[in-house]
Structure 1
Amino acid sequence: MTSVASGSRTLRPPRTGRSNGQWAVDGREPLNPNEAFKAADNGLNVRERIETTYARDGFDSIPGEDLHGRFRWWGLYTQRKPGIDGGRTAQLEPHELEDKFFMLRVRTDGQLLSPAHLRVLGGISTDFARESADISDRQNIQYHWIAIEDVPEIWRRLESVGLQTTEACGDTPRGFLGSPVAGVAADEIIDPTELIKVITDRWLGDPELSNLPRKFKTAITGHPSLDVVHEINDISLVGVVHPELGPGYDLWVGGGLSTAPRLAERIGVFVSEEDAPDVWHGVIQIFRDYGFRRMRTKARLKFVMAEWGPAKFREVLETEYLGRALPDGPAPAPATGPGDHVGVHEQKDGRFYVGAAPTVGRISGTKLTTLAELIEQVGADGVRLTAHQKLVVLGVPADGVDTLVAGLEELGLTTTPSPFRRTTMACTGIEYCKLAIVDTKDTATAVIAELENRLAGIELDTPIALHVNGCPNSCARIQTADIGLKGLITTNDAGENVPGFQVHLGGGLASPERDEAGLGRTVRGLKVQASELADYVERLVRRFAEQRAAGESFATWAHRVTDEELT
């Protein structure tokens, strides 16, 4: 078979039949407007225009392909205009929904945030973002109310301490999830800190990887709690010990949720620390070259994996991209503990790491700045964010633990949260997101408060995760929650359209309570009004507490009972 040269490797000739827009098969002719604007100008190039033109001339000077497209390559999305109800989300065009302010996403890539980092992050929130700052479940900090005129100064401040918004959004290698306790946990299998740094230093902002079919999400951990939700990322490297080769990583590929959820699959190879950068690079190149670009709804790596399967994926990775075979490897052991790391835990050096829970990830500039002062006061090292909208303070001296815990509590960052405060997550919601249909953050906060009061007398030895999402895109991972809630408009008894939720039950990722991940079930016709959400969850939890078998998890119970018992 004749092959076609392309750079340093060969591509297969085009196949006959309908094109999926795979570069390695069909060529690079853009097949839709999104692919056309990316081909016309690399998204990375917009930074210069932001700094030299748009920040000077203002919002109205920004053309549509930059505003609604290339700005994402630098972590910028226009935010929702206040006062537009959720029933109009699908009826209006983007320019009708958007305000002249931006959400700005700052990636941390599992990095330790020192007091200097926290002061910069807090100062940006206070000076430019009306005190907004949310910890996302991708370990990012998200600001709102950002004006285009302020973006260059924000970048200057972030980059002065080694932080960035490069490729925080867009069809790019988005922010990496890293173990929050990397390098300090006494039971760690392998420390991924240097690996993440090598990959991001080498390839973040590389024009060869900045036009992917869609987003590409990475997770890397060496901790046995499996704390980076590895089953729902495009690529995950999970710490394992090979019986002959020692510590390294197990490779998972093709996870993702949204409207077509799919869990990642093991490729079956053992990845050494030395091979890991090349393996990551090989997988992302497979996505770039073989990802389906014709239809954006099919443009994630999970669709390639669904078509190929792990065996073919491994073959292509080894033969076309690595040029060598990888050894077979073991699977990770079941999770040893909660992956949010909430509470006080001893490190391998005798100091402590302390995990704390804000409410649904919401924080502020003032709290970030005060947190920096508290960390310095007790002599700790800094903070890492988690994949569960939490934060972990690392390197706390034994004699500073009590002072830190008390100080965190004063900031609303508790180390002993109630079960529902600990396990509830919420996406941005209608407050700022143009895709959202319902409020999420305030709704979830109110529900937590109600459940803390109503269910105070019920003893549960298993967590029940509540995830609240404002639209079908599952930024809050609704299909992998015990109780996942997808925002929609429903009808009340008076025939009025009101905010509500479709319910997903019994999902979950790796945890001590379950051996493997699974997606939740939906109950046909079940929709819950937002105003009745606390009532519904209370009823469901009480029913579970009454009916569960000894040691039974909520997910197991939810999958075995009838639809009627879940309403």
Structure 2
Amino acid sequence: MSTPARPANRHHKRQRGEGQWALGYREPLNATEENKKNDDGLNVRQRIIDVYAKQGFDSIDPSDLRGRFRWYGLYTQRKPGIDGGKTAVLEPEELEDRYFMMRVRTDGGQLSLEQLRVIADISNEHARGTADVTDRQNIQLHWVDIESVPDIWARLEAVGLSTTEACGDTPRGMLGCPLAGIDADEVIDGRAQLREIRERYIGNPEFSNLPRKYKTAISGCAAHCTVHEINDISFVGVVDERGEAGFDLWVGGGLSTNPMFAKRLGVFVRPEQVPEVWAGVTGVFRDYGYRRLRSRARLKFLVNDWGPEKFREVLQTEYLKYDLPDGPAPAAPRGERRDHVGVHPQRDGNFYVGFAPRVGRLSGDLLHRIADAAERHGSGRVATTIEQKMVILDVAPDRVESIVAELEAVDLRVTPSTFRRQTMACTGIEFCKLAIVETKDAASALIDELERRLPDFTEPLTININGCPNSCARIQTADIGLKGQLVVNDKGEQVGGYQIHLGGSFGVESSFGRKVRGLKTTTEELPDYVERVVRNFAKQRDEGESFSEWVRRADEADLR
């Protein structure tokens, strides 16, 4: 698709002040926009290879270090020993260490064993054995020094992986169903569309300067595992009245401190149209997106101001140059959980085996074990999920029992408790400069306590733990969402803890969690709180009633 001409302003009601390119406002209105105008983030790659990796950390230009490095999946990680009370007080250079988090993008989540082993080797050789599966199907490494980056890139790229635009104001890693192509209930396989978009547009200067981050999902999963409700752009598998499989288009979802659900444009997108429609929506965001305030720069604000009808009109008339037909809404999601954990049949007679690491925390050694187990049982590929879980694909029926035993033996649970299966945690204060509290260890300890205290609880229950208000772990859409902050304990001391959101949900009745006035807990008291509210739910729930449904009718006293 060729770059559309910069459209004149015929549609937008706002007259001035948001810095939209389409209105002719090309002068930067904040420091980040100035930095991007001065030099495209994609250009930093060669400086890393030629200069910074050779001359070391102290040679890095600050505008590259805290800006353009993100275009290649690199953030400085938090310096050890700085408590959460200093997060909003110290300058970035005071918070940051001389090491990096590196995000490896795995669009669609499916990985060959060769790719998994390369990541495992890089983890052990360059990242102190770290490897976390994120809730966007990526794998994050820590403790990476600048001198190692060119070698890491060369090894990743030799097996078809990349860190290009894994962060920054770019089209970040794209979600896809980990079972694409094999799930018996799949509406449509979206892998070809993901692949074409990646090949045509990722690393392309046409879309390397967006107003802010931009998150994509393309899936025909019957369980709706890519949570299309909260992405900037989602293509959701549907079948039209003629029986043709295609995609329903959603735009403008996102969480963080101002959460909004995506809106349907009501169009039917044929499979071959997906790349150009993706480019059209991304072009609307690039040209009309708000560039004055970073806090209002996500696509969701533009969609919320315009509405879906106007957004569709601009997309069709100014970018696509043709109309998209009306289309059906997606069917209701299959099942109560979207995570693909457990043993399930594929359409070809084989099985996939989904398992639950503890809140996505893995290691180089564990990645090697997973690859070895898959290979020993006849599988050549694995996949990551958006719930910080993993799946081994293509296991023959007579090998299922053996591979389950092998995974369980190294604490990779195929039949986990509800608490292991549905608890997620962001990176937290261990590595993240934005975090206020620790998350991964707190979540792991919480799982252990709840398994001990509530061994017979089996109902679906999502517990999402975030170290700051930015909702990387999707706290507003969890049954129990925990937003990290400093709280005061019963001794009057300021300690780490969480604000509590209750009853968030996806699906037919998507809703954000309920905030009960003053409802907070310290990290120490967290297991007691969750046990108490889960016992109240178990005692009071009606037949078939979900946790989020119960929360909407529960007395406030029973939620405390």
TM-score for both structures, normalised by structure 1: 0.96
Residues 278 and 17 of structure 1: is their aligned pair in 2 closer, same or farther, counting only changes over 3 Å? Answer: closer
Matched with 1:24 is 22
- The reply to whether residue 550 of structure 1 matches residue 543 of structure 2 is yes
SS for the counterpart of 2:271 is coil
Q: What is the CA distance between 1:413 and its match in structure 2?
A: 1.2
- Structure 2 Cα separation of the partners of residues 7 and 423 of structure 1: 43
Q: From 13, 32, 35, give the equivalent of 1:34.
A: 32
Matched with 1:358 is 357
Matched with 2:321 is 323
- The reply to whether residue 541 of structure 1 matches residue 534 of structure 2 is yes
Matched with 1:138 is 136
- Structure 2 Cα separation of the partners of residues 16 and 392 of structure 1: 47
Matched to 1:292, the amino acid is Y
Matched to 1:290, the amino acid is Y
Matched to 1:268, the amino acid is G
Matched to 1:305, the amino acid is V
Q: What is the CA distance between 1:219 and its match in structure 2?
A: 0.6
- The reply to whether residue 407 of structure 1 matches residue 400 of structure 2 is no
- Structure 1 Cα separation of the partners of residues 183 and 489 of structure 2: 50
Q: What is the CA distance between 1:113 and its match in structure 2?
A: 1.1
- The reply to whether residue 564 of structure 1 matches residue 548 of structure 2 is no
Matched with 1:157 is 155
**Is the CA contact 1:19–1:26 (under 8 Å) kept in the aligned structure 2?**
no
**1:233-264 residue CA offsets vs partner (Å, 9 max, x unmatched):** 00000000001151000001000000000000
- The reply to whether residue 10 of structure 1 matches residue 7 of structure 2 is yes
5 Å-filtered alignment, 1:389-428, equals: 389-428=388-427
SS for the counterpart of 2:110 is coil
Matched with 2:85 is 87
Count of paired positions: 556
- Structure 2 Cα separation of the partners of residues 554 and 173 of structure 1: 34
Q: What is the CA distance between 1:223 and its match in structure 2?
A: 1.3
**Is the CA contact 2:6–2:287 (under 8 Å) kept in the aligned structure 1?**
no
5 Å-filtered alignment, 1:156-555, equals: 156-244=154-242, 246-337=244-335, 338-458=337-457, 460=458, 462-510=459-507, 515-555=508-548
SS for the counterpart of 2:196 is helix
Q: Which runs of 4+ in 1 moved over 6 A?
A: 13-16
**1:521-560 residue CA offsets vs partner (Å, 9 max, x unmatched):** 1011111000000000000000111111221110011111
Q: What is the CA distance between 1:19 and its match in structure 2?
A: 1.6
**1:271-292 residue CA offsets vs partner (Å, 9 max, x unmatched):** 1101111111111001000100
Matched to 1:496, the amino acid is E
**Is the CA contact 2:382–2:391 (under 8 Å) kept in the aligned structure 1?**
yes
**Is the CA contact 2:108–2:178 (under 8 Å) kept in the aligned structure 1?**
yes
Q: From 100, 108, 131, give the equivalent of 1:110.
A: 108
Matched to 1:545, the amino acid is A
- Structure 2 Cα separation of the partners of residues 111 and 564 of structure 1: 42
- Structure 2 Cα separation of the partners of residues 411 and 547 of structure 1: 37
Residues 457 and 398 of structure 1: is their aligned pair in 2 closer, same or farther, counting only changes over 3 Å? Answer: closer
Stretches of structure 1 lacking an aligned partner (at least 5 in a row): 1-5
SS for the counterpart of 2:182 is coil
Q: What is the CA distance between 1:31 and its match in structure 2?
A: 0.8
SS for the counterpart of 1:11 is coil
Q: What is the CA distance between 1:376 and its match in structure 2?
A: 1.2
Greater mean alpha carbon deviation, residues 366-375 or residues 49-58: 366-375
**1:349-402 residue CA offsets vs partner (Å, 9 max, x unmatched):** 111111111010000001111211111111112111101000111111112212
**Is the CA contact 1:438–1:500 (under 8 Å) kept in the aligned structure 2?**
yes
**Is the CA contact 1:21–1:31 (under 8 Å) kept in the aligned structure 2?**
yes
- Structure 1 Cα separation of the partners of residues 478 and 24 of structure 2: 39
**Is the CA contact 2:153–2:162 (under 8 Å) kept in the aligned structure 1?**
yes
Matched to 1:428, the amino acid is T
- Structure 1 Cα separation of the partners of residues 109 and 501 of structure 2: 33
Residues 390 and 111 of structure 1: is their aligned pair in 2 closer, same or farther, counting only changes over 3 Å? Answer: closer
**Is the CA contact 1:381–1:396 (under 8 Å) kept in the aligned structure 2?**
no
**Is the CA contact 1:233–1:253 (under 8 Å) kept in the aligned structure 2?**
yes
- Structure 2 Cα separation of the partners of residues 411 and 209 of structure 1: 42
Coordinate RMSD, CA, aligned: 1.3
- Structure 1 Cα separation of the partners of residues 59 and 369 of structure 2: 38
**1:151-177 residue CA offsets vs partner (Å, 9 max, x unmatched):** 000001100100000000000000000
- Structure 2 Cα separation of the partners of residues 7 and 502 of structure 1: 45
**Is the CA contact 2:6–2:22 (under 8 Å) kept in the aligned structure 1?**
no
- Structure 2 Cα separation of the partners of residues 563 and 312 of structure 1: 40
**1:58-111 residue CA offsets vs partner (Å, 9 max, x unmatched):** 111111100000000000000000011111111101110110000000000014
Matched to 1:547, the amino acid is Q
**Is the CA contact 1:282–1:321 (under 8 Å) kept in the aligned structure 2?**
yes
SS for the counterpart of 1:394 is strand
Residues 8 and 26 of structure 1: is their aligned pair in 2 closer, same or farther, counting only changes over 3 Å? Answer: closer
SS for the counterpart of 2:172 is strand
SS for the counterpart of 1:19 is coil
